[in-house]
Chains A and B, each alone.
Chain A
Amino acid sequence: MESKPIYQFHKGDRLEITSVQVEGVMRRRLLDLGFVRGAVIDVVQKSPLGDPIAFRVFNTSIALRREESSLIHAVKMEEDSEVKVQ
């Protein structure tokens, strides 16, 4: 399946992260929060104006702006897949 930036998915989608193309400090921050390759995340909520979007990663909701979420790529997973880190 084709991977695309995570902000392009829909509320309720379950995704598997394929790549994190951010660099420097922000990359480190995102890694710390669990946005690592292979992590499974859910798209939980868009803010009223569409940006930022909250993602559920390791049982925590984290909101990201378009600037960052456009640099994280993922594929949509089928229902009930198991959570796993590469």
Chain B
Amino acid sequence: MEHSAEKKIEQLDHLFQEGSDDLRDHIVSSIYQSTQGLTKEAVQYSPKKASWLDTNLDQILTSRMFGFPIMLAMLAVVIYLTIAGANYPGIVIAEAFARVEDGLTAVFQWVHAPDWLYGILVEGLYRGTSWVVSVMLPPMAIFFPMFALLENFGYLPRVAFNLDRFFKKSGAHGKQSLTMAMGFGCNAAAIMSTRIVESPRERMLAILTNNFVPCNGRWPLIIVLAGLFMAAGFSGGMNTFISAGVVVGIVLFGVVMTLFVSWALSKTLLRGVPSHYTLELPPYRKPKFWNTIVRATLDKSWFVLKRAVIIAAPASLITWILANIMVGDLSVLEHIAAFLDPFAHAIGLDGFILMAFILGFPANEIVLPILLMGYLATGSMIEVENLHDLKQIFLDHGWTWLTALNMMLFSLLHYPCGTTMLNIWKETKSPKWTFTAFALPTAIAIVVTFIIAQTVIALGLV
């Protein structure tokens, strides 16, 4: 048996030939000749006028004059609508959660449940989950339907087309912008989508830089902090407007960072020139409007809810427990925070924030809830309906606009979440590159926040 297999392989090797460009050309043109014959008989083209969309839209959306301004405007509008639209449903959901909590509290009192049980289940698990849901759900349920509309319309390849020159200059592949667009949804999924980049070197660039795109677990944090601190002096519509501007700025900073890091890697660890590039620009297609919206909203909501239950709930539980186990005068949580504090201050954060990022490794969604639990020492969350008290809690812990800015930047730049790391490992199968995917962004996050913090402090701006 073995013997015959080896013999077959030998026979096969014997049959194998080197091939040539001439032969390949011949094969391909034979196929084309065939298809041409086939279509000539079976397909009729009646000279109908091509639709306006097909002929003219690209002339605007990818034009020298309007290409970039329109891209920027689209991004700004989507973010603006997200922030403006999320406000109200956020409050409604939070109030609903609070009402349910009142009921739960009554039940616990009625059965004379012990304090620790109430603490774990209601103040830890329930509040943690409801925080994630009411802060995450509304913006994401608004952002993604809009994104899906653009995606189904066919705008993403045009973005790649417009931006390609920058990626080429950075030694990267033009399709990297498509993988970045996927990153807006989820970096873990985006890692899989880097398969569309064929050259291994350029694919690695796309993998290593993908987390500079905020995913759906980080958007809300950035939006909340922008609203509370960056647009602080403004109210109403103006507040939304400024917040949106800040969020757009953060996203653009991520894009610039992606290009810069790709460029630097192309000159060092991943030296090389861009490989070949082809990009198909499909025709624009009118999306099925309501279908797309309903589908994207449901999908995303389901996704957020699932994550809330699978990750946020246990994480809140663990955080509550850590906050309630006392060692000496302080809880375990406070010990950790105190330990991290000096370093955290050097980069404009504090020990609790850094700890929240560390405990938030499994999922970025839980960074904000964990931070609040830590601040409220008892480990219990404030009730979600008090979103407006949020800022007071931060201020009580010495926050300035610098803290908020650096937290946003750290969130944007730091290591990918656990799921993403797992996918990077699966896709690269390399300990070295998986580690790089962790260490590189983290180092950049630290350096950037350090420089900003030190500069701002030195200039006496806070």
A–B direct touch in complex (beta carbons closer than 8 A): yes
Whether A63 contacts B59 in the complex (CB less than 8 A), given A31-B28, A36-B29, A85-B32, comes out as no
Measured between C-beta atoms, what is the minimum distance from B441 to chain A in Å? 28
Majority secondary structure, A binding face: mixed
Q: Return the contact of A45 from the options B29, B58, B168, B275 (Cβ within 8 A).
A: B58
Chain A: interface residue total (CB-CB under 8 A): 37
Q: Does B62 sit within 8 A of A, measured CB to CB? A: yes
Task: Report Cα–Cα, A39/B36, bound state, in Å.
Answer: 11
Q: Is the CB of A37 within 8 A of B29?
A: yes
Whether A86 contacts B280 in the complex (CB less than 8 A), given A47-B164, A47-B165, A48-B63, comes out as no
Q: Is the CB of A44 within 8 A of B58?
A: yes
Inside 8 A of B161's CB, which chain A residues have their CB?
47, 52, 54, 63
Majority secondary structure, B binding face: helix
> Which B residues between 151 and 194 are near A, CB-CB below 8 angstroms?
161-162, 164-165, 168, 174
Task: Report Cα–Cα, A65/B175, bound state, in Å.
Answer: 12
> Which A residues between 58 and 81 are near B, CB-CB below 8 angstroms?
60-65, 67-68
> Which A residues between 8 and 63 are near B, CB-CB below 8 angstroms?
22-23, 25-34, 36-39, 44-52, 54, 60-63
Measured between C-beta atoms, what is the minimum distance from A1 to chain B in Å? 22
Task: Report Cα–Cα, A51/B168, bound state, in Å.
Answer: 10
Task: Report Cα–Cα, A78/B450, bound state, in Å.
Answer: 63
Measured between C-beta atoms, what is the minimum distance from A19 to chain B in Å? 11
Most buried by B among A26, A34, A48, A67: A48
Inside 8 A of A46's CB, which chain B residues have their CB?
64
Task: Report Cα–Cα, A7/B59, bound state, in Å.
Answer: 17
Q: Does B232 sit within 8 A of A, measured CB to CB? A: no
Q: Does B25 sit within 8 A of A, measured CB to CB? A: yes
Q: Does B48 sit within 8 A of A, measured CB to CB? A: no
Q: Does B287 sit within 8 A of A, measured CB to CB? A: no
Inside 8 A of A29's CB, which chain B residues have their CB?
276, 278
Task: Report Cα–Cα, A68/B273, bound state, in Å.
Answer: 13
Inside 8 A of A22's CB, which chain B residues have their CB?
276
Task: Report Cα–Cα, A65/B174, bound state, in Å.
Answer: 9
Q: Return the contact of B25 from the options A36, A50, A68 (Cβ within 8 A).
A: A36
Q: Is the CB of A61 within 8 A of B281?
A: yes
Q: In the A-B complex, list the 10 residue pairs whose CB atoms are closest, starting with the nearest.
A: A48-B67, A26-B276, A61-B281, A49-B165, A63-B279, A31-B28, A85-B32, A48-B64, A65-B277, A45-B58
Task: Report Cα–Cα, A41/B194, bound state, in Å.
Answer: 30
Inside 8 A of B49's CB, which chain A residues have their CB?
none
22 pairs across A/B with beta carbons < 8 Å?
A28-B28, A29-B276, A29-B278, A30-B278, A31-B25, A45-B58, A45-B59, A45-B281, A47-B62, A47-B165, A48-B64, A49-B165, A52-B161, A52-B277, A61-B280, A62-B281, A65-B164, A65-B174, A68-B276, A68-B278, A84-B36, A85-B33
Task: Report Cα–Cα, A29/B277, bound state, in Å.
Answer: 10
Q: Is the CB of A48 within 8 A of B62?
A: yes
- Shortest Cβ distance from A28 into B: residue: B24
Q: Beyond A63-B277, A84-B36: 11 further Cβ-contacts under 8 Å? A: A29-B276, A37-B29, A47-B162, A47-B165, A48-B67, A54-B58, A62-B278, A63-B161, A63-B164, A63-B279, A86-B29
Q: Does B21 sit within 8 A of A, measured CB to CB? A: yes
